[in-house]
Structure 1
Amino acid sequence: MERVMKMRFKCCFIFLVTVCSGKLFAEDTSCDLPQIENGNLAQYYYSFKSYYFPMHKGKKLSYSCVVGYTTESGTQEGRITCTAKGWSPVPRCYRKCTKPLLENGSFYSTEMDFKIHEKLQYKCNPGYHTPSGATEDTVQCQPQGWSFQPSCTKKLGITCSTLSEVAHGSFYPVKKIYEEGDVVHFFCDKHYSLTGFDLIQCYNFGWYPDPPVCEDVKNKCPPPPLPHGHISTARRTYHNGDKIHVQCTLGRRGSEEMQCEGGKWTSPSVCIGTVDKQESEASPPLEADTEIRASQTHHNEDMKMQQDCASPPVIKNGGVLGPLLASYKNGSWVEYGCQHYHFLDGPSTVYCDHGNWTEQPTCLEPCILNVTDMDSNNLTLKWRREELIFLHGDLIEFECKEGYGFLQTAIPSPGRTQCDHGRLKYPKCVIQAAAEKCGSPPSIANGALTLPALPQYDTGSSVQYICSDYHFLQGSERIYCSEGQWTSPPVCIEPCTLSKTEMEKNNVLLQAFYADQVYFYHGDYVGFYCKQNHFGAESGTTLFQVQCNRGQLSYPRCVERGKQVWT
């Protein structure tokens, strides 16, 4: 019985050890030879695969990417670790990003290849913009390629609808097409006034604000004077037919509703103040109170005189349009206007408020263009007009005379200036030398233009080159015309052609990774190894990496074992 128990214990022990050791072995040898596309390990790992693999957990390997590829971090070599779940991180080699094509723009970098995560900044030629609408942008090299395709597209002119004629008025400038940023100024004929804003501007969504209309001044009423009361829908101007409802603080004389007719209010409503209410409700005074009543009457007259206003204040370059009265009671109003071409800034209607006039407007002076100043700055008006007078706030657009250009070209719309309190700053134009043109771009060996060549090109124009198959483009793929001269064109470097004869002569074989590849770019590395029982004649090694240099490959030489020459 004891012997049976010992046998069972021994079997269980062996079973547990086998299971445990098997589990440990499975965890400890979970990584096989990694397959790395566009990358490889040292050759001896492939030659002695059964010896090195599977590898134990915790072991580390270094791998390298072939020319033209990098790890995700942008380096040529990577390092991986064997874990229970396999190799970590997963070894991968990504294709380097080649400088993309770009029409109507240029790159800040002259490099041709970019590593993963590397950035490339570019700018667009004048009149063109990036996909985001800016003049410059940056793309980044990512494992799947560039973050987006850089492009420069021509700016589309944003226009606004044509303005229709204004009844009893006009506007300036009159154009067939209005572009974004254009400002239009509206005027009304005599005895007519604007309803709305006199300046509107063209935006990318249309005109703002809406164009105004010209109405007969007789058909407009000013805000009604309402001491001791108010209206629920107060406005600056009321039109013929408008009705208002008056709300008095204490009491009212007259109708609750008033209407604007022919520039005047009908059925005027008067709100009764505290003093008036007391007087209206007071009983007839007693004879004994004669002295007190006389004192109150005198006090009321003083109060009344204090509430009246003197004549309306005089303003420069403007005056009172009406009404002109001998005296102005508390709550009276007058309307101001400016001289022709002067801009009214502030409220046009001014009220008498307990003996004082409310704030008066100011009349801002216009700008009168000086032909002498325009000539000295080599300017002409962009839009033709009879009068050379602009109101305060008007935008004035100049352009340079023929053969001249704006001195400040870095700012947007250098020819635009604004009338400011009768003063304006003239932009300056300077003489420009005639820009020389370039002839046909130079031809290059083993390469050609992407588009047919023209006989002549303007300054700032560019052309793009492309190389023949397997030829390496060195330099900038795009050249520019500058003052009659082209910038330096690129060079197309020929590839290396693999020679079976040279390989046989030197007893070398091509690594499996490069199988079926005959042509190699300039700068690419080619992997060779010695035939069986052969070693490097000079180095004694069996694995070689040879770089293609301008179409030439220096083949390694291998000799049979015992015949190598050590150096």
Structure 2
Amino acid sequence: ASCTKKVESCQVPELHHGNYFTTQRELRVNEALLYKCDEGYHTAGGNTTEEAVCLAHGWSVTPNCSKKTCPTLRGIEHGGFYPVKKIYEEGDVVHFFCEENYSFREFDLIQCYYFGWYPDPPVCEDVRNKCPPPPLPPHAHSNAVRRTYHSGDRVRIQCQSEYEIRGSGEIQCENGKWTSPPICVGSMDKRESETPALEADALIRASKTYHSEEKSRFNYVSSYLVLEIQQNCTSPPVIKNGVLLGPLLPSYKNGNSVEYGCQRYHFLDGPSTVYCEQGNWTERPTCLGPCILNVTDMNSNNIELKWRQEEFIFLHGDLIEFECKQGYKFPHATMPSPGRTQCERGRLKYPKCVFQVPMEKCDSPPSIANGALTLPPLTQYDNGSSVQYSCSDYYFLQGSERIYCSEGQWTSPPLCIEPCTLSKNEMEKNNVLLESFYENQAYFYHGDYVGFYCKQNHFGAESGTTLFQVQCKRGQLVYPRCVERRK
């Protein structure tokens, strides 16, 4: 068994980044200490305010205010991030980057909030394993819905009702390229596709004398031979606020590709690589504009930035945190983060704060038995005001000596617990004497211990011992009983 030293009082520790609701520097056992942390900090239990109780072995929980932090970030494959810190605090922003030939699928910025990181840390993906939009042969449609595809992704291709599919109805993205798509054959094409193989060469030679429309129709498809006209592409399309990274060529062959980037503060949405396919360029990206904070709009909505920013420019997808100006509040206080909004394609929806109606005042504070206010009461108190109580002599104050006016209601007042009064008659009746340490005391506080011992030639009736420690409990002392030793 281990022994714990009992204490009669607790020293109020120094508190950084917070305040106590009392000026006392020492509290008795069972007294409560209420404290509040500054904005951006939390108590030992993770709250804004917390109560610590002085117990016989010390504080129930040591008062402490610490900065809200986020979990340490792990390294990401094929990339990194900055700044690298041991501890990230609320409001910190981390920027991720990828190695060459790798890119992000979504955002490259995350921010530390009171609930953790948002959004989740990104992943670097191999761009060489990304495929352009899937090829679609004439008279066909597919179930393709995504903008970007990766190795292993499959797309199903179907022909229109009057056409018949030839080849696999499913294509797959493999190392940045699609497997060969099927073809859709019409009724005329089907008759031609039934031409015997031995006649194919003769038909090809004969096709040179056909009219142009017959020639193109014949050359389109045969189950034995497909002749494709490899068409080149002209200059790549220009995109607004975008930059063509190259290569710059007079013309581009089928299968060639070019890379796009965006001007500063613009966000590239869509594939950065565009391909030449049979004389046409595949889907091009767009460069989404940034959001520029408008001070006039902020003032009209009674808001200001929560975190200090070097610039008032945010990229598409960036999260921006606002707070209300003094005297205003968010109308939807139940929302987890009513002041947070996101830059969306250069547009910003500002949150709105409304005028905060002054809190209700409180009437005179309640009176307590065997206690009184330290100052004469007023008829009315403003929200946030406080008053202090004290107890009559030898009465024990249980609870907080100070109460607060909160939205028209007072917090709970303390109790004054009566002391124990020493009875000479009870001591004589039970054959006990008061230890010399307590000789001059007639009253004892609730919770105090009183020392007794048996008269000469007497011992404890229940315990057999001669020394006793009895605790005062709400004005009651249970006296030990001593009996005379038999001769």
Give TM class, smaller chain: 0.3 to 0.5
Greater helix percent: which structure?
Answer: 1
In the superposition, the TM-score normalised over structure 1's length comes to 0.37
- Higher relative CO (Cα under 8 Å, sequence separation at least 6) belongs to 2
Q: Which has the larger radius of gyration?
A: 1
What TM-score do the two structures reach when normalised by structure 2?
0.42
